[in-house]
């Protein structure tokens, strides 16, 4: 049989393992908030692009700074959480994110560079939350249903990403000259971010206080089975983790790229010719598809193979992106929006599959996977270069290529959980 290794599990005061619905509900609140905050980037990118007269590459520095924080902060966040614990780590992340939101106020009086700094600080706080919350959810129940459980919490993350663009379009874009159809952008338009982001800062501080006061179960070490045929010297010795990290890099990159370019894509004359404010509502449709798909995926993956489900969604995403790239009008518009439904189960499924069987290296593996979220910085930046050179529509070939690797990963580990009890 395969060798065993220590793996974190939730233990109550009496020392027996249990699933904890209350803990899951509390952690799910965090997923909702960082989803809402992250999706607001899709509103601010075209807004800041118009205000500061930026190229697509320059505008994508928003995502570069935001998701670049994941690469820089993930490992220090992992060390911090090992020292102070998951609960205090989440509180720390909330407070750092609150500071980042508050920095949007002085940024509105300053330059684009100050906005980029605020994005980095905000994302640093969210990174700490990610490193703490994702592995916490995976051990709040049986390993075989970890993908299903993480998909459920990610569904509420998607609820936040669905509400975010709609609220951002209403509060930020609707009062801006360029969004209202005037075709002009001034420094005064930057002031529209002040109220919404100060409100977000206040909400994050309140959540930090509530989360600190909550009674959550502790994560302790227990026995778990590692996958047969893989090394045990470090997390990187596990092939499925390495491939999973590449999958996370490309998935986040593709999802963020599509969201980042949606408003400009829908503004193309051969697609929909929408104003920024009108297109913002459709960004909510894109993220809303992911929300609906995650609730469906929560049920489906309790009986279906996570790997096969992942492969199916990736294949459908490729077909839809290619339709949007080479199509026009409403066909192209609705094809790209439907990709959100395909994205639904990808992140939680790749994440939980990559962590499966890591044993005592689960924490290290989680940090590596969170570092891989830097794909959200690199892929949009690369797509921006393609868009500047060849046009927005052609640039969507890059996300299609990203989904091709995810298709490969899903097929390769379609029977991952059965391997847990396979002979070494």
Confidence of residue 51 (pLDDT cuts 50, 70, 90): confident
Q: Does residue 366 have a pLDDT over 90? A: no
Residues 186-216 have pLDDT tens digits of 556 778 888 899 999 999 999 899 888 877 7
Residues 381-402 have pLDDT tens digits of 999 999 999 999 999 999 999 9
Share of the chain above pLDDT 90, in %: 44
In a domain, 144, yes or no: yes
In a domain, 84, yes or no: yes
Confidence of residue 170 (pLDDT cuts 50, 70, 90): confident
In a domain, 377, yes or no: yes
Residues 317-350 have pLDDT tens digits of 999 999 999 999 999 999 999 999 999 889 889 9
How does the average pLDDT of the chain come out, rounded? 83
In a domain, 116, yes or no: yes
In a domain, 424, yes or no: no
In a domain, 323, yes or no: yes
pLDDT, average across residues 270-292: 90
Domain containing residue 189: CATH number: 1.20.1250.20
Query: Domain tally for the chain?
Result: 1
In a domain, 422, yes or no: no
pTM: 0.79
- Domain span at residue 286? 7-415
Between CA 178 and CA 55, with CA 111 as vertex, the angle to 5 degrees is 55
In a domain, 184, yes or no: yes
Confidence of residue 418 (pLDDT cuts 50, 70, 90): low
Which residue has 């005064």 as its token pair?
Answer: 188
């Amino acid at each position: 049989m395969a060798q065993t290794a220590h793996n974190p599990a939730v233990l109550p005061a009496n020392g027996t393992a249990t699933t904890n619905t209350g803990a899951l509900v509390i952690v799910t609140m965090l997923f909702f908030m960082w989803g809402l905050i992250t999706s607001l980037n899709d509103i601010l990118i075209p807004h800041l692009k118009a205000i500061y007269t930026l190229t697509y590459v320059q505008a994508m520095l928003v995502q570069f700074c935001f998701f670049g924080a994941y690469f820089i902060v993930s490992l220090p966040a992992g060390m911090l959480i090992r020292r102070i614990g998951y609960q205090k780590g989440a509180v720390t992340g909330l407070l750092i994110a609150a500071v980042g939101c508050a920095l949007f106020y002085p940024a509105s009086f300053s330059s684009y560079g100050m906005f980029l700094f605020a994005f980095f600080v905000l994302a640093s706080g969210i990174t700490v939350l990610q490193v703490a919350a994702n592995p916490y959810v995976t051990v709040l129940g049986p390993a075989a249903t970890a993908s299903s459980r993480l998909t459920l919490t990610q569904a509420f993350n998607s609820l936040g990403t669905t509400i975010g663009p709609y609220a951002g379009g209403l509060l930020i874009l609707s009062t801006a000259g360029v969004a209202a159809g005037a075709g002009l952008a001034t420094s005064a338009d930057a002031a529209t971010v002040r109220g919404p982001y100060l409100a977000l800062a206040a909400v994050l501080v309140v959540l930090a206080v509530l989360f600190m006061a909550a009674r959550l179960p502790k994560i302790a070490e227990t026995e778990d089975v590692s996958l047969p045929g893989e090394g045990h010297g470090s997390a990187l010795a596990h092939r499925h983790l390495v491939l999973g990290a590449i999958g996370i890099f490309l998935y986040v990159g593709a999802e963020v790229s599509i969201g980042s370019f949606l408003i400009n894509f829908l503004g193309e004359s051969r697609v929909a010719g929408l104003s920024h404010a009108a297109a913002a509502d459709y960004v909510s449709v894109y993220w809303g598809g992911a929300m609906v798909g995650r609730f469906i995926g929560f049920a489906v993956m309790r009986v279906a193979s996570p790997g096969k489900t992942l492969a199916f969604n990736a294949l459908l995403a490729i077909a839809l992106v290619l339709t949007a790239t080479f199509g026009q009008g409403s066909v192209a518009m609705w094809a790209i929006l439907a990709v959100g439904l395909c994205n639904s189960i990808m992140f939680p499924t790749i994440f939980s599959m990559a962590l499966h069987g890591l044993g005592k290296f689960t924490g290290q593996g989680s940090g590596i996977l969170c570092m891989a979220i830097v794909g959200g910085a690199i892929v949009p930046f690369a797509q921006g270069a393609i868009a500047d050179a060849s046009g927005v529509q052609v640039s969507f070939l890059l996300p299609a290529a990203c989904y091709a690797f995810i298709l490969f990963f899903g097929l390769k580990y379609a029977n991952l959980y059965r391997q847990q009890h396979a002979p070494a």
